[in-house]
Each structure stands twice: as structure tokens, then as C-alpha cells.
Amino acid sequence: MLLVCGPCSAESFEQVYQTATAVKDVGVDYFRAGLWKPRTRPNGFEGVGERGVYWMKQIQQELNLKICTEVANPYMAETCLKNNFNAVWIGARTTQNPFVVEDIASCLDGSDVVVMVKNPLNPDIKLWLGAIERFEKHSITNIIAIHRGFSLTYNKYRQSPLWRIPLELKRRRHDIPVLCDPSHIAGHTDYVKEIATTAISTGFDGLMIETHIKPSDALTDSMQQLTVNQLKSLIQSLPQVISESKEDARLNSLRNQIDDIDNSIITALSERMSVSREIAKIKKQHNLAAFQSNRWEKVLTNILKEAAVNHLDINFVKELYEIIHQESIKEQNLIINKSNI
């Protein structure tokens, strides 16, 4: 499991150096600290900028830790490249702008720096994949994706996790490690652990967790940064996920059963569709429309009764059958509307 920890922002030499010394003990892979801070509104603390580069290099050299920071334009990327940062991350607000991503990618062209690409703020998987592809187009081979949540609907967290999106990214790109940033999803230390636990038990490859030597003094994101002790206990509490090689035999056998059942569902759906096409030919002869509301009513009543007897959720079965029925009507209309000449 890959661990990226450190404060939201670099604030002073003492703050970053003390935090780095403490997190090194926990066994982190990368020390993170934002030097240039993208704030939603102006006039807040906007980072220490280039001044912090020297602090980070000292941490890299004296503590032998890999260092990373956020880059949001080619100048920042160039500065990190010149100063041998091990990794840079592309923030959520940058990922959603293909012009800027392209400029940063061409600046990093061919380098072996690790590029961590956070998801864009809006839940658009294509923008996230597109940003990754732009770096690949510029021969960047060390890419990591970071799930940091999406600004969509209000919930108890600061951002919506929408787990399906990072999982879909993982499905499409097995070759790219995906980390979760529970700090920015949570927005508050109270929720960091539950999000990190979900991520690890779902198969994420690691975590980026904001950690500060004294969170209450932090100039940015103070509510969500963990103390080093909180980080330690979180890491110790994470579930031990069984690795693929020693997968449980019972789990494998149950998964085989699921595969067989899925195959029967597909066969049954295909048979249902063939019968439906035969019905379409008869409807066509009698000038009947594909959609017959009385018949649909009967199908639904019957299926919901079956669902109840078999202890299935009525709403789930209703939604499923609406999709099946719609597809059936679509297929029938193809036959009914086909001209005979």
C-alpha cells in the first residue's frame, strides 16, 4: 500500500520539517506539502511558493524521503523538475482544464517524475482519463490516479465520494495505481478513517492523507488534517485485504457460482428477447402498437408478486423490469416499423 502524507500547505520550515520527521516514522512513501495553494476565493493564504522548494529539498536529502507538491502551471512544473521533486500532483481544479494539463504535460515531457492526477471536481470520468492520457502522450510513464471526491450533492462529507467513478477508472486502467485522498472527501477528521477503510477494503492501492504537526494552527484545511498520532492509529486499524494469491477457497467457489448464475440470466434474457421478436411479427400483422399498456400492467403485477415471494426488493425488480421492457419495445419497434418492400 502506497502512502502519501504531509500537510495541506507548507507554512514554515519548522512545520514541514517536524511533520516530515514524524511521518517518516509511520513509514510513508512520499511526503506531501502544497507550496502553491489554489484557494476558492482570493486574499487567503496562497502558499509560500518557491521559498518552500528549499525546505522540501532539505527533507528529501536529510530525511531521505520522496517529496511531492501540487503544480498548476508550467512554471511550477518546471521549478519542481529543476529541483528533482520525486513526484508532482495535478489538483482537482487543474485536471478539469485540458489546456493547462496539456501545457504542464509538455513541460514534463519525457521526464521520469511521478505524476499523480487527482479527479476533476465534476464527476466526469472522461476528463480524468483524458488528463492521464495527455501525460502518457508526453511519455510520462509513472502515473498514479487520486480519488479526492466530487463536488456534487450535499452530504455529510465535504465532497461526494461517488465510489463508482474511481472503480470504473480502475476497471478501465488496471495498469494505473489508484489512491484515495480521504482528507479532501471528508473535510473533517471525524470521517477520514471510515473513508480510508472503505477505500482499502475496496482494493485501492494506497492513500494520500493530510497530516500536520499541529492541525489547529494550520493555515489551510485545518479541520481535516490528522495529527501524526491519529495517522498512526488509522494506519494500524486498516483492514488487511487478502491478496489475490492467497484468496479464500470459499470466496472463489462462491464467485464461480455467481458467474454461472450470470450466464443463465443472460441466456434467459436472450430467450425472452427472441420470443418478444416473434410477438412483434404478430403485432405487425394485426396493426398493433409495440407498447400495450394492459399487457405491461399484467407483466409488472406478475413479476412483483414473484419478487415478493422470493424476498427481492420490489423497487429493484420494478426498475430492472422497466429497463427490460423498454429494450423489448425497442426491438419490437424495429420489426414493426421495418418496411416490407
User: Where do contacts with ligand PEP occur on this chain (CB under 6 A)?
Assistant: 8, 34, 91-93, 118, 148, 184
- The CB-of-266 to Mn ion minimum distance in angstroms stands at 45
Contacts of 192 (CB under 8 A, 6+ apart): 182, 183, 186, 209, 224, 226, 230, 234
Of residues 3-42, those binding Mn ion (CB under 5 A): 8
- The CB-of-156 to ligand PEP minimum distance in angstroms stands at 18
- The CB-of-20 to Mn ion minimum distance in angstroms stands at 17
| CB nearer to Mn ion: pick between 37 and 193 | 37
- The CB-of-332 to Mn ion minimum distance in angstroms stands at 54
User: Do the beta carbons of residue 146 and residue 89 sit within 8 Å?
Assistant: yes
At residue 91, the 3 state secondary structure works out as coil
User: Do the beta carbons of residue 69 and residue 91 sit within 8 Å?
Assistant: no
Residue 259: all three cell numbers together: 458467474
Residue with smallest beta-carbon separation from ligand PEP? 91
Chain-centre distance for alpha carbon 29: 20
| CB nearer to Mn ion: pick between 144 and 307 | 144
| CB nearer to Mn ion: pick between 76 and 329 | 76
Q: Is 131 in the site for Mn ion (CB under 5 A)?
A: no
Which of Mn ion, ligand PEP, none does residue 215 bind to, with CB < 5 to 8 Å depending on kind?
none
| CB nearer to Mn ion: pick between 212 and 283 | 212
Query: CA torsion, points 281, 282, 285, 289, in degrees to nearest 10?
Result: -90
| CB nearer to ligand PEP: pick between 134 and 149 | 149
**Across the strands, what pairs with 115?**
88, 143
- The CB-of-229 to ligand PEP minimum distance in angstroms stands at 21
Give the residue from 25, 86, 21 showing the smallest Cα distance to 57: 86
Measure CA of the first residue to CA of the last residue in the chain; give whole Å.
Answer: 64
User: Do the beta carbons of residue 191 and residue 235 sit within 8 Å?
Assistant: no
- The CB-of-244 to ligand PEP minimum distance in angstroms stands at 30
Which of Mn ion, ligand PEP, none does residue 165 bind to, with CB < 5 to 8 Å depending on kind?
none
Rounded to 5 degrees, what are φ and ψ at 9? -125, 150
Which of ligand PEP, Mn ion, none does residue 212 bind to, with CB < 5 to 8 Å depending on kind?
none
Which positions touch Mn ion (CB under 5 A)? 8, 221
